[in-house]
Structure 1
Amino acid sequence: MTMPSLPPGGSFPSGEADPLGDRLLEHRIILATGHLDGTRASELCARLVTLDAAGEEPVRLHLQTPDGDLEAAFAAADTVNAVTCPVHVLVIGQVGGPPLAVLTAARRREMTPHAVLRLAEPRAGLAVGGATDLAAREEEHRHLVDAFYLRLAETTGREADEIRADAREDRLLTADEAVAYGLVHSVVARP
């Protein structure tokens, strides 16, 4: 199968080609690692849209994002929801904070046996400006945080306030605990 070339954003930040990412893309696999910021979310969204245009087979998203920006996480989660092909997430390593929104958007959610989920309160980004600008930014952040907890509540069947309390305690969940909590469907089979 010949894959369409990656749109801008399908390369390393230095502008170099990403042969491993391109090879994974041929197999409908996306590897998302590190802090999920606007640049990484844009790259992830571009790859998802590219694979969606290339066929209806599931996309496998391997996720290892210990933290991220709330706006970036929602952009990626909304893209996962918008593509027509199913997206299946495999948590490798640690996923925590805002990137949990990306996890909850997937049709199928799995974890490796030694992976960890971290429920953590999304932090506000550095804001600059006058008092009115800061107040508006704070209100927008509160709205996004509430939407984040509602998304997790819809996925898990738990109350948003319970999830918020767990996040304020920076609760870590093993793979088995994440299944019991309702954030993932299963732990991948042990060899």
Structure 2
Amino acid sequence: MANDERVERTLAAIDAVNAADPSRSEDGTPEALVYGRRMSAALAALRPDASDALRIAVRAQHVERWKVPRATYPEGRVGYLKWRRELGKMHAERASALMRAEGWDEDTIARVASIVQKQKLASDADAQALEDCACLVFLAHGFDAFAAQHEDAKVIDILRKTWAKMSDQGHAAALAAAPSLSERAQSLIGRALGG
């Protein structure tokens, strides 16, 4: 029970710093706060038995992301990858600091940092679960806006890359959610997966 309370306090601490995000969702809620809660909801559906470390890592995946804008790095793939790598380190450091304030042991803190940075994505089921949640949140909440800004061919390419990053369990969850997506999203997903 003590760990459950500490997990809840840690999630609340992550939410508290994410509440400072100046970007707002349609209803005026800070975007980072919305994203973290969506990630947790995706995890609860995907892995209801998730460990404490995974629950914290999923919520902290984008903690204070707005503080490191993409525009502060060079254009192109190299700049994008550097930005993502350095963001992962920053998210892990912020999550670690928040966990230390709640009295977590260093092994659990290190585990969260590893999951957040997806250090062993190919062999770590928890890192894969975090990746699946990120993909599911994108499909459910960000895909239509993204697709509206890009040509079909680019969107289909992104969908194929996203699909390749997901586990079989993530695929099943995405396909189960597909009927609730827009008609265009369903069509593009069908084209991406069909060939």
* Smaller-chain TM-score bracket: under 0.3
More helix by share: 2
Which structure is higher in strand share? 1
Length-normalised TM-score, structure 2: 0.26
